Amino acid sequence: MTNLRNTPLRSLAANSPSRRANWKALGLSAEDMLKPKIAVINSSSELAICYAHLDGIAKIVKEEIRRAGGIPFEVRTAAPSDFITGANKGGSYILAGRDIIANDIEVQVEAALLDGMICLTSCDKTPPGHLMAAARLNIPTILVIGGYQQAGEIDGQPVDVEDVWSGQIGERFGAQPKFPVAEMAENAIMGPGVCAGMATANTMHCVVEALGMALPGHAPVRGNSPKMQANAREAARRIVAMVAEDLKPRSILTEGAFRNAVATVLAVSGSINAIKHLQATAVEAEMDLDIFALWEEMSDVPVLAAVRPTGAVRIEQFEDAGGARAVLKRLLPRISGDALTCSGKTLAENLADYEIEGPEVIHPMDNPIGKGPAIAILTGTLASSAVVRLGIRDGSRPEEFSGPARVFESTVDCMQAIEDRVVQPGDVVIARNQGLKGGPAMGGSASVILFALDAAGLAKTTAFVTDGQLSGLCLKGLTVAEVSPEAATGGPIGKVRNGDLVRISVAGRSIDIDVSAAELAAREGPGYCTPATGYLANFREVVRPLETGGVLLPLKD
């Protein structure tokens, strides 16, 4: 992409009489034309509670930008939310929406030659979409954490959306929910924001702060709370200053920053989805950085906080104990304190005078909750890379497994087999054709299978392997996800047959199949089994492999 910034042509375009004519009609004065133009990226949507409060936050941000001497322009983007936009096409639109967000921003912000942007980041795919756009455009950018929803109560016990989801699946397989599912659905969500746990959204919110792309102490935060509103005002003032300083994302998104983000995800036993989102951000920043290798390099980082679904700590307790800032303070001896942040200071400078508020919630490195890694990367004859989420490694779930494959081409067939008790203890359940191309866009709802195995009492006596992705709420049994190469591109997972022996070893970081290379090469894979039209068909054709984070951009030779 040709970048015309800091060239006479850019200056001419940015200050042209035709531009002045259009903006005068919008109410801008001649004086306003000389002020920094800031995009306020707003993914507000009436479809999903994750985004329902962002119009109010955008108003606050725009007011504060004006006070600070800038001119705000509100820009709308797509707003994917798992429980809403996951309703059709097996959830394929969820991940595919991430790249629409990045492209939406480029089309509006880059094309208009705006000077900076502030992104109101909320549900799972907006934080990576915003990070990818920031890395691609490389104009001063800061992210405002959109906050998490208030969970409800029944008979004095907390109830959240995870309880509803697991309860509705569990009932089909004979599991007893903690309360009637219909009653939980009426009480689980009591306000705007993202899922109340360390699922993908709150994991990515912590990642954003760890990368230095949000101000310190901003993640996580209660949705639409006075604190969140104050954070938004602070960020709005700061983005105007960042434009004056010409502090750009590629000065912040260094290898050290990514190391800090990886360590943070491991320390909170966060969502495995962070891996591909970090890799995609690195690719957009034109960095030669292997996040999968960095993950193994940081594998000694222990679990310091056990927020649901890893443990019993609730996200409110985690925030009150200091959140991402406290985790980074604990990790400082192990991570890159010299990484620059959007505050204009290094991470170490941001943390210098900070005292951790809740030591019983966020443990020190020398007294962790569990040994590392909470997430590991596996390789072998079944995958060049695959991800296993381990959480607290206390022996409650297997880390070594060997058993016969039981293969399924669709989630529907797999669910039926679990219900019919076709799946037996000792099986390695393989759900394929759910990858970036096969899903497409990692649709197929592999997460539902995992909850079904748990409800049927099979999560600890089987292993689950898929080339699909998993919800950040998933942490059950020995589960290997995001197997690459995927089935649809001829990967070994597409050539596994019922009864093939599959061996998984966390200690050995391996996942293998006891089939000779010659026989495996001779077998045919399933190809594209899932129909796709429209945008999803286009996504399937152009998406890059997981080694790139699943970006849509062409890569350099």
| pLDDT 10s digits, 30-81 | 999 889 999 999 999 999 999 999 999 999 999 999 999 999 999 999 999 9
Range of the domain at 327: 30-150+191-351
Q: Are strands 478-484 and 383-389 parallel, antiparallel or unpaired?
A: antiparallel
Cα–Cα nearest to 373, from 314, 428, 297, 426 = 297
Looking at the domain assignment, is residue 320 inside a domain?
Answer: yes
Whether omega for the bond prior to residue 404 falls within 30 degrees of 0, making it cis, is: no
Q: Are residues 331 and 436 part of one domain?
A: no
pLDDT digits (tens, 9 = 90+) for 151-193: 999 999 999 998 998 899 888 888 889 899 999 999 999 999 9
Q: Is the confidence at residue 1, as pLDDT, over 50?
A: no
Q: Are residues 242 and 125 part of one domain?
A: yes
Q: Are residues 297 and 379 part of one domain?
A: no
Q: What's the pLDDT at 9?
A: 53
Work out the pLDDT band at 131, boundaries 50, 70, 90.
very high
d(CA 443, CA 99): 15
Q: Active-site residue among 471, 484, 510, 516?
A: 471
pLDDT digits (tens, 9 = 90+) for 84-97: 988 888 889 999 99
Q: Are residues 406 and 326 part of one domain?
A: no
What pTM, to 2 d.p., does this model score?
0.95
Q: Are residues 406 and 532 part of one domain?
A: yes
Cα–Cα nearest to 140, from 239, 261, 74, 273 = 239
Q: Is the confidence at residue 4, as pLDDT, over 80?
A: no
Q: Is 6 exposed, middle or buried (0-12, 13-18, 19+ CB in 10 A)?
A: exposed
The question of whether 396 is a catalytic residue gets the answer no
Looking at the domain assignment, is residue 1 inside a domain?
Answer: no
Looking at the domain assignment, is residue 253 inside a domain?
Answer: yes
Q: How many CB atoms lie within 10 A of CB 407?
A: 22
Work out the pLDDT band at 421, boundaries 50, 70, 90.
very high
Q: How many CB atoms lie within 10 A of CB 7?
A: 11
Count of structural domains within the chain: 3
Q: Is 189 helix (H, G, I), strand (E, B) or coil?
A: strand
Q: Are residues 333 and 226 part of one domain?
A: yes
